[in-house]
Structure 1
Amino acid sequence: MILVLAGTLEGRDTAALLQQAGFPVTASVVTGYGCDLLQKQGLNRILTGVLDEAALTAILQQGVRLLVDATHPFAALASHTAMAAARVTGVPYLRLERPAAELPVHPMVYRAADLESAVSQALSLGKVLFSTLGSKSLPPLLTAASQAGVKVIVRVLPDSGVIRRCLELGLTPGEIIALQGPCSMELNKAFYRHYQAEVVLTKDSGSTGGVAEKVAAAVEAGIPVVVWQRPKIYYPLVFHKPEEILAIALNM
């Protein structure tokens, strides 16, 4: 069996490609929304929920011959957990990593090494902040924004649990955009204009995450944009295309 940590578009595509090639595949995702997307791609075996190292190790010991880590570039804990479980069990580990975005060098484009500095920078640049960081980054962002008197508009995944979390954190329905990306530059610009954004806060989720379009829309609209750079993680083997993972599997 091949286990694919498939919380991204390329992860879902990889799991589907391996299954179509005749491999027994189990795909793992955190949310019910991710499970729904995998089911639409025809995956037969899906695990839903967060896997800690002990749980993942137990799964790998059940006849898994290859572990494919196609988690989000910012899911550092998930990747570290996967590598640790692979080391313990001796299961080969492959990282499927979407390439980083090529962002323009422009006076309106700011780069930040971590979440804290990204939030701090963005809050200094405007009083209406449009965030596409995702729901997991909301607690520190909303706390800091409240203290700074900055209004926050968030774009998050259209998952009931995510929306409920946003509401629990104090956001109103009018401050939440539940939408599966990526979006075109024109749509991003329309959102910024509609919500009267004064600063955009995003992260380098790569071309699949639509970061280039978010940044281009902000630059064209004359709005400063702060980009949280992805964490630097050492992976033993990194690939960028589902077809490369399939080629490895076929030769094992």
Structure 2
Amino acid sequence: MARSSPLRLLILGGTTEASDLARAVAGDARFAPLLSLAGVTRRPLPQPVPLRIGGFGGAAGLAEFLRAEGIGALVDATHPFAAAMTRQALAAAAETGTPLLRLERPPWRPVPGDDWREHATPEALAAALGPAPRRVFLTVGRKDLAAFRAAPWHDYLIRSVDPPPAEALPPRARVIVDTGPFAPEAELALLREARIEVLVAKNSGGTAVAAKLAAARALGLPVHLLARPAAPPGLGAVAEAGAALDWLARRHAGTERGA
């Protein structure tokens, strides 16, 4: 019997989960994958599947790309805070009838010993630090740094994958450019050396940068987290690449049956 054609797969990436899925489908004859990155990170890691970099031009542009490339399945594995891209993926999938799955790691949950508060906006995070000067470990990403310029009396230790633009930085800031994963003992040493009094982060989930939370717990530090945006209604989601692969296998099987 003749082999069925591979399922054309578009992975919207930029996360560990997207890379995990790319490795899972690489070399699998059932799939013809393409991994798409927004181009935000200056030096993306090598990937085991074909790669495209850059935006699509909104939902309409993504829909046109899905049609032009004959994409048979779309996996949105963008960052949990890339809400605009997720909305565009949902709209483009609906317009073109493309099966869509969201691959998203679970958020962090507090455990005994944690002193956590969640806030809806970066501005609320900055305000929550209070009027008294504090030493802040700030790990919210480049796009949300500007909100902390409204609280210039704090001393900020900022860690970012790429150097933030100078105009986004609060005045009393020191920047560390680094990429996880980070070891627990190194995070603990960093917080002690910098005499950090409060940790501010996004509730990104995952393990690569979770060690800072354990370090804050060990030191009894308060943690202020930016809450995740609400997921669009009607969007199916899984938490691991293995579950996404199972979903893709079912899509491929449906293609083989002529579905």
Instruction: Answer yes or no: same fold by TM over 0.5.
Output: yes
- Structure 1 stretches lacking a partner, 5+ long: none
Q: Structure 1 residue 100 and structure 2 residue 99: aligned?
A: no
- Paired position in structure 2 for 1:239: 238
- Paired position in structure 2 for 1:218: 216
Matches of 2:199 and 2:193, distance apart in 1: 13
Matches of 1:68 and 1:34, distance apart in 2: 23
Query: Is the contact made by 2:22 and 2:48 (CA closer than 8 Å) also made in structure 1?
Result: no
Q: CA deviation at 1:115?
A: 2.4
- Paired position in structure 2 for 1:134: 141
Q: Name the amino acid aligned to 1:28.
A: S
Q: Name the amino acid aligned to 1:251.
A: R
Q: Structure 1 residue 56 and structure 2 residue 62: aligned?
A: yes
User: Residues 204-250 of structure 1: CA distance to partner in whole angstroms, max 9, x if unpaired?
Assistant: 11123433x22221121232211222122135211111122222222
- Structure 2 stretches lacking a partner, 5+ long: 1-7, 252-259
Which of 87, 92, 116 is 2:94 aligned to? Answer: 87
- Paired position in structure 1 for 2:4: none
- Provide closer, same or farther for how the CA distance between residues 140 and 97 of structure 1 changes in structure 2, counting only shifts above 3 A: same
Name the count of aligned residue pairs: 240
Alignment of 1:17-56 (within 5 A): 17-22=24-29, 23-31=31-39, 33=41, 36-37=44-45, 40-44=46-50, 46-51=51-56, 52-56=58-62
Query: Is the contact made by 1:109 and 1:215 (CA closer than 8 Å) also made in structure 2?
Result: no
Quote the sequence identity (%). 31
Matches of 1:249 and 1:107, distance apart in 2: 38
User: Residues 151-183 of structure 1: CA distance to partner in whole angstroms, max 9, x if unpaired?
Assistant: 2221111x3xxx1x33343469x7111111131
Matches of 1:32 and 1:129, distance apart in 2: 25
Greater Rg by CA: 2
- Residue range with higher mean Cα deviation, 113-122 or 17-26: 113-122
- Residue range with higher mean Cα deviation, 117-126 or 55-64: 117-126
TM-score scaled by length of structure 1? 0.86
How well do the aligned residues superpose, as a CA RMSD in angstroms?
Answer: 2.3
